[in-house]
Amino acid sequence: MTKQINSSYPKIPSSEITPEEVYYSRRQFMKSVVGAGAGALALAACAPLIKPGSTESPTLTPSSTENTLTSYDFVTHFNNYYEFSMDKSGVAKAAESFITDPWSVEFSGLVRHPQKWDLPELIRQFPPEERVYRFRCVEAWAMVIPWNGIPLKNILKAIEPTSDARYVRFTTLYDPKKMPGQASGSYPYPYTEGLRLDEAENDLTLLATGLYGKPLLPQNGAPVRLVVPWKYGFKSIKSIVKIELTDQQPATFWNSLVPDEYGFYANVNPRVPHPRWPQSRETVIGTDNLQNTLLFNGYASEVAALYTGMDLQENY
Ligand SMILES: Nc1nc2c(c(=O)[nH]1)N[C@H]1C(S)=C(S)[C@@H](COP(=O)(O)O)O[C@H]1N2
Ligand SMILES: [Mo]
């Protein structure tokens, strides 16, 4: 895994990074939190970790200082990946024999130079960098993850979107034999996601190929997944096989299923509650803490300009 430190993105001071081997009381935490939404909705990226009207009062810690890296164990054993399992603690096991080599990603649509790259070649041409990002799921939980990823803008520059291109559409592998959730028929797979072209070209946007300096494990979207740290986690689509430039806003998985709960933009915004739970706070995975959620997940200085003139209440 090639590592390069890029100085132009906001860094979380290394003094606040907890070593990978530090092991929090994972089992205990999983018991208290993972089951929180049991019996909730079939159609929901999402059982909230902070229940409306909850009377529990965990410690509220200031978000600005709550930047401790989430342990490797949590990042790889607390997952959302419905193609494998709807049980967050069961995804790792369900995906363990998912083979992701060979793998290629097709770049097509409104581009001058359409390409299909095998993963090793993609990584060779566009060396991944290390980026420590906050990660915020729409279900009101948060992590801090050291990704290894290719800035998507580097690839976009090479394939040259045409002047008609306005959006980027991402598609997950469709293979019901390998992905048991796809065989069940309850969701319209393959999972797709989309960004506006200028969002895709923002320096923060990554095609992640690893985390903690190791190649991605299947549960985290191996071998390549999107990471858009100022948006809710469902935008960060996993196991991508196709990236297309389009002139129309693409249909996206959760937005198509439940449009009034999951927007196309899905920018993290503490002032826009989910219809079924507040978004003003988040559970810090691996700790007992609640912290305040930040506008654009703390990345406002990098991305707020993308939304000038847009109503952030409306375009959630
Ligand atoms: N293809 C696919 N991508 C997906 C999902 C999914 O179910 N399928 N879940 C999303 C959601 S809701 C979240 S929060 C993140 C979780 O990523 P992680 O398991 O690596 O933390 O993946 C996102 N990408
Ligand atoms: Mo999520």
CA distance 78 to 67: 18
How many angstroms does the Cα of residue 237 sit away from the middle of ligand 1?
6
Q: What is the pLDDT of residue 204?
A: 98
79 lines ligand 1 (CB under 6 A): yes
Of 50-54, 185-189, 254-258, 312-316, the range with the lowest mean pLDDT is 50-54
Q: What integer pLDDT is reported at residue 161 of this predicted model?
A: 98
**Residue 60 pLDDT level (bands cut at 50, 70, 90):** low
In this structure, what DSSP letter does residue 264 have?
A: S
pLDDT at 15 over 70: no
Please give the backbone phi and psi of residue 135, each rounded to the nearest 5 degrees, phi first.
Answer: -135, 125
- Residue 104, beta-bridge partner list: 118
What is the H or E stretch that residue 282 is in? strand 281-284
Write out pLDDT tens, residues 106-125.
999 999 999 999 999 999 99
Nearest to 105 by CA among 208, 233, 228, 252: 208
**Number of other residues whose CB lies within 10 A of the CB of residue 195:** 25
Does residue 14 have a pLDDT over 90?
Answer: no
Structure token digits, residue 232: 């809710």
What is the average pLDDT score of the chain?
Answer: 85
Residue with CA at minimum distance from ligand 1 atom 24: 237
Ligand 1 site, residue 238, Cβ cutoff 6 A: yes
Does the pLDDT of residue 142 top 70, yes or no? yes
In the block, residue with structure tokens 């991508």? 240
| 281 within ligand 1 shell (Cβ under 6 A) | no
Q: How confident is the model at residue 67 (pLDDT cuts 50, 70, 90)?
A: low
